[in-house]
């Protein structure tokens, strides 16, 4: 877990710049809008940056990264080119919702627990002759055990997948509700529709497949949820 925290702390300043170019957000109006949102939500950031996402794909995104004083806001240049300032603010509010609800911390803890559990399981299986024989391996060496374990683990995760996807979709609804509370639903809805279009995502996925695999709710369900959160006669910020 300590290693993961170190990576999160070091990623924005030393690791991410190896793969992409980051520059400070120069749009003064957008900067002021984002700064006000951060103040309203009590989020401290060590800068607002634009990443050259267009150098790799046409997908748009916004995220925050880092820990402590290294936290920073990052926008893909493709997102800024596609969305209006109000929509960009709404997308960022959604991402801030993940932070405020502790979703990132939960995922980090869960990942660490699963890693430790996997290592403990491997340490137990490596001592069982039945483990090797059951999977048709004559050699009973640590290398063989690791190979068999890595082959079998995806089968276990296949059955755990729906639980993970269900929890992730719950997190998305919570982050949407946070955004609706702080910037309103209207602009997040329009931003989502543009992002679904630009990312070539289907608006009507198969319900069974989506329920089993998708980490985000289907577009219609998500948009209907946002509409239900809209405040009557409220003025969007």
pLDDT average, residue stretch 79-88: 95
- Is a pLDDT exceeding 80 seen at residue 105? yes
Known catalytic residues are: 95, 176
pLDDT for 123-145, tens place per residue? 998 888 888 888 787 778 888 88
pLDDT for 193-204, tens place per residue? 999 888 777 888
Which pLDDT band, with edges at 50, 70 and 90, does 191 fall under?
Answer: very high
Better-predicted residue by pLDDT, 28 or 159: 28
- Dist CA 107 CA 179 (whole Å): 20
pLDDT for 3-49, tens place per residue? 677 777 778 778 888 899 999 999 999 999 999 999 999 998 888 99
**Helix ranges restricted to H, 64-206:** 77-82, 85-100, 103-125, 129-134, 142-183, 186-198
Delineate the domains of the chain, giving CATH numbers in brackets. 2-82 (3.30.2010.10), 103-229 (no CATH)
């Amino acid at each position: 877990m300590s290693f993961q925290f170190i990576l999160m702390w070091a990623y924005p300043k030393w690791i991410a710049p190896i793969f992409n170019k980051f520059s400070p957000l120069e749009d003064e109006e957008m900067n002021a809008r984002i700064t006000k949102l951060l103040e309203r939500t009590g989020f401290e950031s060590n800068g607002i940056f634009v990443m050259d996402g267009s150098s790799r794909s046409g997908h748009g995104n916004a995220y925050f990264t880092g820990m402590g004083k290294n936290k920073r806001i990052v926008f893909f240049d493709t997102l800024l080119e596609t969305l209006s300032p109000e929509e960009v603010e709404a997308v960022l509010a959604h991402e801030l919702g993940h932070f405020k609800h502790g979703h990132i911390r939960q995922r980090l803890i869960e990942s660490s627990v699963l890693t430790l559990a996997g290592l403990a399981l491997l340490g137990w299986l490596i001592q069982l002759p039945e483990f090797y024989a059951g999977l048709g391996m004559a050699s009973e060496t640590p290398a063989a055990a690791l190979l068999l374990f890595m082959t079998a683990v995806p089968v276990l995760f296949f059955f755990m997948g729906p639980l993970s996807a269900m929890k992730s979709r719950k997190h998305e609804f919570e982050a949407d509700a946070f955004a609706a509370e702080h910037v309103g639903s209207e602009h997040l809805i329009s931003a989502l529709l543009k992002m679904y279009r630009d990312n070539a995502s289907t608006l009507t996925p198969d319900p069974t497949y989506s329920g089993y695999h998708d980490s985000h709710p289907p577009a219609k369900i998500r948009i209907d949820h946002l509409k239900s959160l809209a405040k009557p006669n409220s003025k969007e910020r």
